[in-house]
Amino acid sequence: MTDRATILIVDDDARGRDTLEAILTGLGHELRFAQNGQDALTQARENPPDLILLDIMMPGIDGFEVCRRLRTDSVLAAVPVIMTTALDDKASRIAGIDAGADDFISKPMDRLEIRARVNTIIRLNRYRKLIRQQAQLSQAHEELQDAYESTLKGWVRALDLRDNETEHHSRRVTLMTVALARRIGMSENEINHIRRSALLHDIGKIGVSDQILRKPGPLTEDEWIIMRTHPQLAYDMLAPIAYLQPALDIPYCHHERWDGTGYPRGLKGDAIPLAARIFAVVDVWDALSSDRPYRKAWPTEQIIEHIRANSGSHFDPEVVSLFLQMMSSPE
C-alpha cells in the first residue's frame, strides 16, 4: 500500500494555505486547496481526500458546518478532519467535537507537530480502511459460499425428486459421514469438503436416463453398465469447477472397493481416498436400512453382520471398526 495520501487544505486566507503547503511539502502527499466551505464540499464529493485540514473561521459556511455536512455524507463520513483554528477556548473545541472533528491544531502552527499529527492520522485512517475492506471481502466471501451451498442443495434436491429411492438419502448419509469423519479425527477444513462431497455423491446420476434410474425392479446387466458410469459422469461434471475440486473424492470414488474390485478405476486399499472409504460404509448402511420397491429394509443386526462380513473386501477394516463403534455408542 502506498504512503502517498491526498490532503485537502481548506482556508479562506491565502497565508494559511501557503503556511500549510510549506509545512507539508516534502512528506510525499498530494496537496489540494479550497478557499471556502462550499468549495471544500464540492471538491471532497468529486474526489474524496484521505484527510481534510479545515479552518474554522471562514465567511459563509464556517468549518463547523462543513464538518457537520461531511459527517452526514455516506461517502465522506469517514474522512478524517483536523480543524485548524486560532480559537483556543474550550467551547470551540467542544463545538468541533460535536461537529465531528478528529483533531485540532492551534495557530500559530508548529511545523513538527503538524507533520507528526498529519502522518499519524493518515496512517490510522489507512488501517481503518484496510480493516473495513477486509470485513467487506469476508462478507462477500460468505455470501459467495452461501450461494454455492444453495446451488449444491438445489442440485441434490433435483436429483432426489428424480429418484424416489434416494429421497432424503443424501441428507442422511451426509450427516452420518461427517459424524464418522469427526470421530476419525479429520480437520474441520477436511470435513467441510467431505460434507459437500457426500451431499454430491450421486450427482452423476443426473446423466442417467429416467428409464434406468426410476426402474422399480432390479437392473439388467446392460443397464448396470450404464448405471456404473455415474461416478465418471460426476467427475466430468464437477472437475472443471475449482470450488468443488476438493469435493470430488466421494462422487468419483465411493464405489471403489478395498480389494480393488470396485469401479470406475479399480482402486485398491489406501489408494482409495479416505473420504470415499468412510462414505462407502455409510452408504451401504443407509441403503440397507431403507425400504426399496423390490425389498424391505434389513434389520439392524443383519446390516451390522453384512458390514462385518465385507470388512477387508468391500470396506476398509479400520473404517468399519470405527463405524461400528460409533453406531454402538453414538456421541
Give the pLDDT band (50/70/90) at residue 110.
confident
Write down the pLDDT at residue 217: 77
Per the domain annotation, does 141 fall within a domain?
Answer: no
Mean pLDDT on 275-297: 88
| Pair 66, 210 in one domain | no
| Pair 190, 66 in one domain | no
Q: pTM value?
A: 0.59
Per the domain annotation, does 188 fall within a domain?
Answer: yes
Write down the pLDDT at residue 71: 92
Q: Does residue 132 surpass a pLDDT of 80? A: no
Q: What secondary structure does DSSP assign to 184-240, as a single string?
A: HT--HHHHHHHHHHHHTTTGGGGGS-HHHHT-SSPPPHHHHHHHTTHHHHHHHHHTT
Domain holding 170: CATH number?
Answer: 1.10.3210.10
Write down the pLDDT at residue 293: 66
Per the domain annotation, does 151 fall within a domain?
Answer: no
How deeply is 132 buried, as exposed, middle or buried, from its count of CB atoms within 10 A (0-12, 13-18, 19+)? exposed
Q: Are 9 and 32 in contact (CB under 8 A)?
A: yes
Give the pLDDT band (50/70/90) at residue 88.
low
Per the domain annotation, does 152 fall within a domain?
Answer: no
**Domain residue limits at 93:** 6-135
Per DSSP, 54 falls in state E
Domain holding 77: CATH number?
Answer: 3.40.50.2300
Closest alpha carbon to 260 in 211, 306, 307, 312: 312
* Domain count along the chain: 2
Mean pLDDT on 133-142: 76
pLDDT, tens digit, 9 for 90 and up, residues 56-72: 989 889 999 999 999 99
Alpha carbon distance 286, 149 (integer Å): 23
| Pair 195, 112 in one domain | no
Q: Does residue 166 surpass a pLDDT of 60? A: no
Mean pLDDT of the chain: 87
